[in-house]
């Protein structure tokens, strides 16, 4: 449609695509589009808060990684807020790369569903659906940010454009209102272009993220498939040692601190305070062949079994590294766990305060349990790769007190300055020992290893035969460690399993 102006010149009333096409070719609009793509969308991804979820009893947040300059990159996993891992199996084109935040790991009834054959499939399906919904919610929330940043950039570039027109104008009669009236249509088209480009780009990036994620997850069957595996196994240490059919690795319970010293010490026997009636020594009298004692007090999986351990001036080699130089092994006994979760610290704390079931220590225990779970898994893999493929017997952790402990018992009451252990505290210690044993059993069962369940007479109890507890009490130098009879009972619980695995 064409109309006539005051001066008789025709003026087009077409306000549709033609002005919009001219606007797309204008350099301010091109600059605006570049800012929207390179600044607006990355800023939106960075600032959009992750969506918090509760899946299988765990706190999980779903969002996206902070964009970088690469065209393609992996999705991400952040564990306990400070350990960031790439997920190499999930490669995504574009800046929108999913990320999960996990931890700390919680052990509760909901988490246990994944091990229940009847509930596992449904629990897994619900977890997947929650993750999908969480990311979709994050993505839709980010749309608001995408539109907002697009409009903000359009307004910024539009203001700069108006200021440029004012500076170029030679007439002092031209006002901001005149410029606004002249540019209002242009600014509206700029805003339309900015929002449209942002939404189209966001849709494209979302499609690329979805495609890359689904493609990467297609062949994932385990956590190691998802995040990759990086495990360094201890290298063999020392000369090849023959003549032993079995070996014991572990901590002070297996070394039997407090017992009579070894008659003819060799190697690290002195540094590790190994006793003549240790688990290995007692086992040596019950099974065919010699049994070597590699256990050392204060040993953990990381410092003692899989890594070196410092005992005074002596650097004790990793116990697993010594095992690798024993080609004739038929069985290996493993006694580990309490040092990894700080058991002695927990017991001392319970003796000293009115209640030790507070949120701080509960969180610390859960954190240590999660760390032990990972370290223990690496240890089990190391044992599975031993050259002689020996039978592995994992020893469960024994309880220190009976279920109905008399609070007047000296070992429960503790020193004069201590608050002492109540039944509630003993129940807490029993529950946490059960949690430790659940991890020990689950790992052993996964690899087909045998689990020994030692039945030691706890403190504050006396058997029908009138015998004392099988553990050293507070009056002894090494409280809560096996006595000579206790060490014998440990060995008996293992000996009956040797050769059955």
pLDDT in tens, 334-386: 999 999 999 988 999 999 999 898 887 888 888 898 889 889 989 999 999 99
- How far CA 87 is from CA of 51, 78, 130, 167, in Å, comes to 19, 10, 20, 53
Answer whether residue 500 shows pLDDT above 70.
yes
Quick one: pLDDT at residue 12? 42
456 contacts 398 by C-beta, under 8 angstroms: yes
**pLDDT above 70 as % of the chain:** 82
Higher pLDDT, residue 194 or 21: 194
Determine which of 102-111, 330-339, 413-422, 481-490 has the lowest per-residue pLDDT on average. 102-111
Query: What is the side-by-side strand order in the sheet with 450-452?
Result: 290-293, 244-250, 331-335, 391-395, 450-452
Structure tokens at 446: 């996964």
**Per-residue model confidence (pLDDT) at position 1:** 37
As a whole number, the mean pLDDT across the chain is: 84
Q: What are phi and psi of 34, to 5 degrees?
A: -65, -40
pLDDT at residue 14 in the model: 47
| pLDDT at residue 7 tops 90 | no
Instruction: With cut-offs at 50, 70 and 90, classify the pLDDT of residue 178.
Output: low
Q: Is the model more confident about 499 or about 305?
A: 305
Q: Look at 64-78, 120-134, 234-248, 278-292 and tell me which has the smallest mean pLDDT.
A: 120-134
DSSP state for residue 302 in the 8-state scheme: T
pLDDT for 221 beyond 70? no
Structure-block tokens of residue 329: 């092994």
What is the model's pLDDT at position 3?
39
Distance CA 72, CA 212 (A): 10
| pLDDT per residue as tens digits for the range 118-168 | 555 666 667 777 878 888 899 999 999 999 999 999 889 888 877 776 676
The C-alpha R_g of the chain, in whole angstroms, comes to 34
What is the dotted CATH code of the domain comprising 244-495? 3.40.50.1110
Nearest to 471 by CA among 463, 460, 459: 459
Q: 77 CB contacts (<8 Å, ≥6 apart)?
A: 84, 85, 86, 87, 99, 100, 102, 226, 227
- Does the pLDDT of residue 283 top 90, yes or no? yes
Report the 3 state secondary structure along 385-413.
CCCCCCEEEEECCCCCCCCCCCCCCHHHH
| Residue spans in the chain of domains classed CATH 3.40.50.1110 | 244-495
């Amino acid at each position: 449609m064409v109309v006539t102006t005051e001066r008789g010149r025709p003026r087009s009333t077409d306000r549709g695509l033609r002005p919009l096409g001219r606007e797309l070719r204008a350099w301010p609009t091109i600059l605006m589009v570049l800012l929207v793509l390179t600044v607006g969308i990355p800023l939106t991804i960075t600032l959009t808060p992750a969506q918090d979820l509760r899946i299988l009893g765990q706190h999980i947040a779903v969002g996206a990684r902070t964009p970088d300059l690469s065209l393609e990159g992996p999705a991400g996993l952040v564990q306990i807020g400070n350990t960031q891992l790439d997920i190499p199996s999930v490669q995504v084109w574009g800046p929108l790369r999913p990320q999960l935040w996990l931890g700390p790991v919680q052990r509760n009834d909901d988490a246990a569903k994944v091990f229940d054959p009847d509930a596992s499939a449904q629990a897994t399906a619900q977890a997947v659906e929650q993750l999908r919904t969480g990311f979709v919610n994050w993505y839709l929330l980010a749309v608001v940010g995408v539109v907002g940043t697009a409009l903000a950039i359009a307004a910024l570039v539009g203001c700069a454009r108006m200021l440029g027109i004012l500076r170029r104008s030679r007439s002092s009669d031209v006002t901001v209102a005149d410029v606004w009236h002249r540019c209002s249509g242009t600014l509206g088209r700029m805003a339309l272009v900015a929002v449209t480009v942002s939404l189209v780009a966001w849709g494209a990036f979302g499609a690329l993220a979805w495609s890359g994620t689904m493609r990467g997850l297609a062949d994932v069957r385990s956590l190691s498939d998802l995040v990759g595996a990086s495990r360094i196994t201890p290298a063999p240490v020392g000369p090849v040692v023959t003549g032993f059919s079995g070996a014991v690795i572990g901590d002070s319970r297996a070394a039997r601190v407090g017992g009579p010293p070894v008659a003819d010490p060799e190697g690290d026997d002195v540094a590790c305070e190994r006793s003549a009636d240790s688990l290995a020594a007692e086992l040596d009298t019950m099974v065919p062949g010699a049994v070597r004692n590699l256990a050392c007090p204060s040993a953990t999986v990381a410092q003692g079994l899989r890594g070196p351990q410092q005992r005074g001036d002596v650097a004790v080699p990793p116990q697993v590294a010594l095992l690798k130089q024993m080609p004739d092994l038929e069985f290996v006994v493993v006694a580990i766990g309490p040092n990894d979760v700080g058991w002695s610290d927990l017991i001392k704390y319970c003796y000293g305060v009115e209640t030790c079931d507070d949120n701080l220590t509960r969180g610390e225990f859960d954190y240590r349990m999660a760390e032990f779970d990972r370290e223990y898994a690496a240890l089990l893999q190391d044992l599975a790769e031993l050259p002689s493929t020996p039978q592995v017997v994992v020893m469960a952790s024994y309880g220190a007190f009976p279920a109905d402990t008399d609070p007047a018992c000296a070992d429960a009451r503790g020193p004069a300055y201590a608050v002492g252990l109540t039944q509630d505290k003993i129940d807490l210690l029993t529950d946490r020992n059960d949690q430790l044993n659940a991890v020990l059993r689950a790992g052993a069962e996964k690899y087909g290893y045998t689990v020994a369940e030692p039945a030691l007479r706890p403190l504050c109890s006396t058997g029908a035969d009138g015998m004392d507890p099988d553990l050293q009490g507070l009056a002894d130098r090494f409280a809560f460690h096996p006595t000579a009879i206790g060490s014998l009972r440990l060995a008996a619980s293992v000996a009956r399993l040797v050769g059955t695995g």
